[in-house]
């Protein structure tokens, strides 16, 4: 029960933020604009992961509030430029209190890891009043996310002791992913225009689909029965 109570505000914060951020993406799409947000996901650390991190940090359960990534939101973007647009969006939100930012894109880790991290308090409304919930945001391009997912799996397999030969190949792969991002940025306008045209044509195709001949009759029959009390 103690763990359930502990996790509840984090789970609520994750659910609300995912809905809000997906709503922002939809607003861009509705206005016919390029959305800097491509995909949003969220997760809560497992109990074993939390305990493992406490041990690595050398702190006790009483200091669990120092684990800043219990709740995590991952935002995937198409272009590197989109990442910084998302960062500005988050910094301007009234329900977020930014605590720390870490730019691992301009300051890439030795392993090749690239991402933008934000630690922030989310202002969660609860039946007991306002509660500040710490959330970690990881903002990446699709290429960065693919690389980071592979590195995470290898770290898990080798217990954070990846063999040097694999580390070298990972670093080379990171450089390739960085090159891919730079190439996509150079043709960003063309890609965005092509995607916009595709979405418009798809919407037109949907509008051109003829409804079933009996759809109107079925609806009228339903409404007639409904208002007659049947």
Residue 212: predicted pLDDT: 61
Strand pairing report for 96-103 and 39-44: unpaired
Q: Considering the candidates 63, 136, 190, 210, report the single residue annotated as catalytic.
A: 136
Residue 211: predicted pLDDT: 61
Residue 160: predicted pLDDT: 84
Give residues with Cβ within 8 angstroms of 7, minimum separation 6: 44
Residue 192: predicted pLDDT: 77
Domains in the chain, start-ordered, CATH in brackets?
2-198 (3.30.460.10)
Residue 194: predicted pLDDT: 81
Instruction: Identify whether 136 is a catalytic site residue.
Output: yes
Query: Hey, which bits of the chain come out as E strands?
Result: 39-44, 71-77, 96-103, 116-126, 129-141
Residue 206: predicted pLDDT: 64
User: Per-10-residue mean pLDDT for the chain, 230 residues long?
Assistant: 90 97 94 93 94 91 90 97 97 96 95 96 95 97 95 88 93 95 90 76 67 53 50
Residue 213: predicted pLDDT: 57
Query: pTM of the full predicted structure?
Result: 0.82
Report the helix count and the strand count for the chain, using DSSP H and E. Answer: 7, 5
Helix (H, G, I), strand (E, B) or coil at 99: strand
Rounded alpha-carbon distances, angstroms, from residue 6 to 19, 76, 111 = 22, 28, 34
């Amino acid at each position: 029960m103690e763990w359930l109570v502990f996790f509840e505000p984090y789970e609520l914060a994750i659910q609300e933020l995912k809905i809000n951020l997906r709503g922002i993406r939809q607003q861009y799409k509705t206005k016919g604009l390029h959305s800097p947000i491509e995909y949003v996901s969220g997760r809560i650390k497992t109990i074993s992961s939390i305990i493992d991190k406490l041990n690595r940090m050398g702190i006790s359960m009483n200091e669990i509030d120092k684990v800043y990534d219990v709740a995590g939101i991952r935002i995937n973007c198409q272009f590197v430029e989109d990442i910084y647009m998302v960062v500005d969006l988050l910094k301007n939100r009234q329900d977020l209190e930014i605590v720390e930012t870490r730019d691992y894109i301009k300051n890439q880790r030795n392993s090749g890891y690239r991402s933008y991290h934000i630690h922030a308090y989310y202002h969660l409304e609860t039946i007991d009043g306002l509660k500040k919930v710490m959330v970690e945001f990881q903002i990446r391009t699709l290429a960065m996310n693919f690389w980071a997912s592979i590195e995470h799996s290898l770290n898990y397999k080798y217990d954070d002791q990846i063999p040097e030969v694999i580390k070298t190949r990972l670093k080379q792969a990171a450089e390739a992913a960085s090159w891919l991002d730079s190439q996509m940025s150079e043709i960003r306008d063309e890609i965005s225009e092509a995607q916009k045209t595709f979405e418009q044509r798809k919407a037109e195709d949907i509008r051109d689909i003829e409804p079933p001949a009996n759809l109107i009759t079925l609806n009228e029959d339903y409404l007639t029965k409904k208002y007659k009390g049947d």
